[in-house]
Amino acid sequence: MTLLSTRNLTKRYAGVLANEAINFDLPQGQIRALIGPNGAGKSTFVGMLSGRIPTTSGSVTFDGKDISALPAHARIALGIAYTFQITSVFAGLSVHENVALAARRRLGRDGAAVDAKVADSLSRVGLADRATQIAGDLSYGHQRILEIAMGLAQDPRLFILDEPTQGLAESEIADFKTLIRSLGGATTILLIEHNMSVVMETAEAITVLSNGTVLADGTPAQIRADPAVQAAYLGTADA
Amino acid sequence: MLASLEGAVTAATLALTAMGLSLVFGVMRVVNVAHGEFYMLGAVIAWFVSTTLGTHPAIGFVGALIVAPVLVGLLAAAADRLILARINYDPERTIVATIGLLYILQQSTLMTFGPDARPVEPPFNSRIALPWWRQGENGLEMFYPWGLATTSYKLFIIVAAVAILIGLWVLLTRTRIGLVMRATQADREMATAFGIPVERVYAMVFGLGAGLAALGAVLIVPVQQAHYLMGADPLLLSFIVVIIGGLGSLPGTIIAALLIGMSDGIISVFFSPTLAKILATLVVAMVLVFRPQGLLGKASA
Amino acid sequence: MTAATRDAALHLGVLTLLAGLWFVLPTYHSGNLARIMVLAVYAMGYNLLFGYTGLLSLGHALFFAAGMYGLAIAMQQGGWSAAPGFLAGLIAALVVSGVAGALALRTTGVAFMIVTLMFAQAGYLTVLYFGAITRGDEGFVIPQAARSLAGIDLTTPANRYFAALILFGAVFLGLAWLVRSPFGRTLIAIRENEARAKMLGYDTHAYKLRAVILSGTISGASGAAYALLFGYAGATFATVQYSIFPLLWVLLGGAGTTIGPLIGAIFMFYLIDLASGVTDAYMLIAGVVLVLLTLFAPQGLAGTLRNRVWPWLP
């Protein structure tokens, strides 16, 4: 079953095409990586999926429903979680409150359920002992991990992560891979990632964007063997 | 017709005052709520100068024309260094701080200058009747209708304001100071990197903006009177002009000043002034709500 | 002691202290304090929007005046009694803040400040325009006979003081609870990072609109109570100055603290009271305080205390 699909999704910034007629299908439960050189339009694409960036034309379908006209908050309410490429936590609030805000939108006034969800999400990413710290006082890496915990606390059906491992230490990246693999199956994941080891070890399928269009789609093995991808991306990648 | 001549006088001083506000917003990206008080100070200083010099009104007037904008500009530059620079021009805190400044300036004037309105004599003032045309027996003929008269001083206000605005335009487009100001406006970080003393530029712009308001007030004070509460209306009108003209756009500011100045005279002839003000205020609020780039600005893509 | 009981102890302690003060303060000061408690309600309404939601309005006098004139005109022109009159004030403030909020919230930041300022200015001019009813700056008096609620005469100093205390207490406790509730925490999230709150699935626009309406209605309740308890409505209360006052009180007392608005209102009231005994230019003190606060203590008194001494301060 397809959870998310786009048809002819297009974004134009002042005449410049950032995304051109992207057709994209993401099956339920898959871990998909979205890769491509800098400026390929990856963030624009997921921004349009989550509703953060308005589309120029084309449609987005989630769980059989056309969500193209929905504002961002309504799409999130349908079960999409989104972590920002540039860390965006509530810097003035505690780590616990950051995650509670994420959990509370769905769990509502049930304080005990919210607290349980927060504790669970924080322990899954290894931040449980920092729950009372102010988020803004965390290191950059920990703030990125907090973002992931906020995503987990939403129990999303589709979890979009925009370069989650950027700025993480090697050991944290290893933990991240384990975490993503443990989510697979239950949660559908769309991962923008530059780190090829993360992509190759977690993704079941890979989509390559280049110059705003889909260059290739396939399993990690297929993508690795694709000469067009090698020419456009892998050959020049620093990973 | 008379209304539109009065309107042209209003428009002329309004253009100067609003230009000051617009310049400050354009370059520094802050809203100066105390702008009307700099205008008021200009008028009050004009009264002090002309009563101190006390000889011929023209000498006092010329003195005021020089002293008032310079003093007000220096005061504003000092306020910029002492207050605005220290809060790093944070937009919201700047508004709160300039509200404070507004009360400080206004109430200090009340303590020193007093609560009365005081007149300043115009340097020259002869009555001029203006000709008009009508369809007569022999085709178009010229006549001098009753009421269509103005004073030489009012015409002088218009001429002087135009001259000052041209001077400002030359300053901004043809001199190094103007170049530095525009560079700072375009990109503060980049300007700093190129060695432009951004802090001094900001103080200068804030001073220049206040000085323009003071100039507008010196020109108008012989027609009106100096009073410690006179800053409120020019502040509101300048806001209106700057918003309609598109925040920070200087040509937009001039066109909007003409539009508002002329219509202010005309509207208040037809409506009660209070109703006219209510409508004007609401229209401006709606422009900000529905067309934040200003009526004259282009919609951004 | 848990956080909840400490909160409750603090808030009930403040209310007990205020009740006790009636018995020790001389008449002049207890009269002032009644006035301050009503104005502190205004400040608390303002604080909900500015301190907790992060929206800086320069036009709250519009809502204060809507409540004031809603009650005063219903009682004076319509001959209504106090209870429905008070309700009329609340509804007037609710409607006005709903309309003003829906429009003003299309803007953000500095534009929001200017739009709210303009709306309040239009409101003030409207009061002047209908001078036949409102009597403009001069204002009008609400007949003493009508100023009673459930048989209790609200014009005696004691009844007036405790009526003010009940209103203050209700709003004080209500807001203390609200800002700890999921709704209040969402408002704080919007203040901290609106884009993130939106991307957690919160309809931030709807939350902000509810905050404006709640804040405006509380401000209106203060305006209505002021007219009812002190028997007077005038255009002065609709001026820009009365939009600046709650900002001043909240900034001074501490934005985003439950106790700040009361502290700020008390300090500012007495500062201005002292200054006006010395000079007509008493608003000078307001200007100086505003500038000093922005420069040196943007957190206000309670906020500074929270940062330095008692991090638990709600």
Identify whether A84 is part of a domain: no
Axis-axis angle for helices C157-178, C204-230 (nearest 10)? 170
A101 shares a domain with A15: no
- For residues A85 and B101, what is the distance between their CA atoms, to the nearest angstrom? 41
The nearest alpha carbon in chain C to B102 belongs to C287
pLDDT at position C160, please?
92
**Å between C102 CA and nearest CA of chain A:** 18
A181 shares a domain with A223: yes
pLDDT digits (tens, 9 = 90+) for B46-99: 999 888 877 777 888 888 888 999 999 999 999 999 999 998 888 878 888 999
Opening angle at CA C176, ends C86 and C224, nearest 5: 15
A112 reaches C (C-beta below 8 A): no
Q: Which residue in A234, C112, A30 sits closest to B31, CA to CA?
A: C112
Q: Which residues contact C149 (CB under 8 A, 6 or more apart)?
A: C82, C83, C86, C163, C228
pLDDT at position A126, please?
86
CATH number at residue A44: 3.40.50.300
Identify whether A6 is part of a domain: yes
Q: How many CA atoms lie within 13 A of B139 on its CB side?
A: 0
Identify whether A117 is part of a domain: yes
**Token duo for residue A171:** 């050991």
A236 shares a domain with A160: yes
Identify whether C289 is part of a domain: no
Last residue of a domain, one of A127, A154, A181: A154
A109 reaches C (C-beta below 8 A): yes
Buried b / exposed e across C152-179, counting CB within 10 Å, b at 16+?
A: eebeeeebbbbbbbebbbebbbebbebb
Identify whether C203 is part of a domain: yes
From the list C188, C189, C204, the residue facing A73 with the nearest CB is: C204
For residue C142, the 8-state DSSP code is P
Identify whether C79 is part of a domain: yes
Identify whether B297 is part of a domain: no
**Å between C34 CA and nearest CA of chain B:** 27
Q: Do A71 and C186 touch (CB under 8 A)?
A: no
CATH number at residue B192: 1.10.3470
pLDDT digits (tens, 9 = 90+) for B3-45: 567 778 888 889 999 999 999 988 888 889 999 999 999 999 9
The nearest alpha carbon in chain B to C128 belongs to B274
- For residues C165 and C173, what is the distance between their CA atoms, to the nearest angstrom? 12
Buried b / exposed e across A101-131, counting CB within 10 Å, b at 16+?
A: bbbbbbbeeeeeebeebbeebbebbebbebb
Identify whether B182 is part of a domain: yes
Domain count, chain A: 2
A123 shares a domain with A20: no
pLDDT at position B252, please?
85
Residue A13: which domain range?
1-79+156-239
A73 shares a domain with A164: yes
Residue C131: which domain range?
25-239
Residues of C with CB under 8 A from a CB of A: 182, 185-186, 188-189, 192-193, 195-204
A66 shares a domain with A160: yes
pLDDT at position B241, please?
85
Question: Which residue type is seen at B278?
Answer: I
Q: Which residue in C236, C121, C117 sits closest to B279, CA to CA?
A: C121
pLDDT at B187 over 90: no
Are residues B125 and B59 in contact, defined by beta-carbon separation less than 8 angstroms? no
Residue keyed to tokens 């309004």: B14
Last residue of a domain, one of A125, A154, A183: A154
Q: What is the dihedral of CA B170, B175, B177, B183, to 10 degrees?
A: 90
Main-chain phi, psi angles of B297, to 5 degrees: -75, 165
pLDDT in tens, chain A (239 residues): 888 989 988 888 877 888 888 888 899 888 999 988 888 888 889 989 988 888 888 899 999 899 988 999 999 999 999 988 778 899 889 999 999 999 998 887 788 899 999 999 999 888 888 888 899 898 888 898 899 999 999 999 999 998 888 888 888 888 888 888 888 778 899 999 888 888 888 888 999 888 888 888 888 888 888 888 777 765 554 43
A102 shares a domain with A143: yes
What are B118's strand-pairing partners? B226
pLDDT digits (tens, 9 = 90+) for B198-252: 888 999 999 999 999 999 999 988 888 889 989 888 888 888 888 888 766 778 8
pLDDT at position A237, please?
47
Are residues B271 and B278 in contact, defined by beta-carbon separation less than 8 angstroms? no
pLDDT at B185 over 90: no
Axis-axis angle for helices A111-125, A140-153 (nearest 10)? 130
pLDDT at position C84, please?
92
Question: Bigger pLDDT: B276 or C41?
Answer: C41
Which ipTM did the prediction report? 0.87
Residue keyed to tokens 């067309």: B291
Identify whether B298 is part of a domain: no
- For residues C97 and C120, what is the distance between their CA atoms, to the nearest angstrom? 11
pLDDT at position C92, please?
96
Identify whether A17 is part of a domain: yes
pLDDT digits (tens, 9 = 90+) for B127-144: 666 666 666 666 666 666
pLDDT at position B295, please?
63
Are residues A61 and A220 in contact, defined by beta-carbon separation less than 8 angstroms? no
Residue keyed to tokens 């809203």: B31
Identify whether C9 is part of a domain: no
- For residues A188 and A207, what is the distance between their CA atoms, to the nearest angstrom? 15
Q: How many CA atoms lie within 13 A of A26 on its CB side?
A: 30
Identify whether B300 is part of a domain: no
Domain count, chain B: 1
CA distances from B229 to B107, B111, C174, C212 (A): 9, 12, 40, 31
pLDDT at B2 over 80: no
Identify whether C304 is part of a domain: no
Identify whether C131 is part of a domain: yes
pLDDT at position C103, please?
95
Domain count, chain C: 1
**Å between C196 CA and nearest CA of chain A:** 6
Residue B199: which domain range?
2-290
A162 shares a domain with A68: yes
Identify whether A66 is part of a domain: yes
The list of chain C residues with pLDDT below 50 reads none
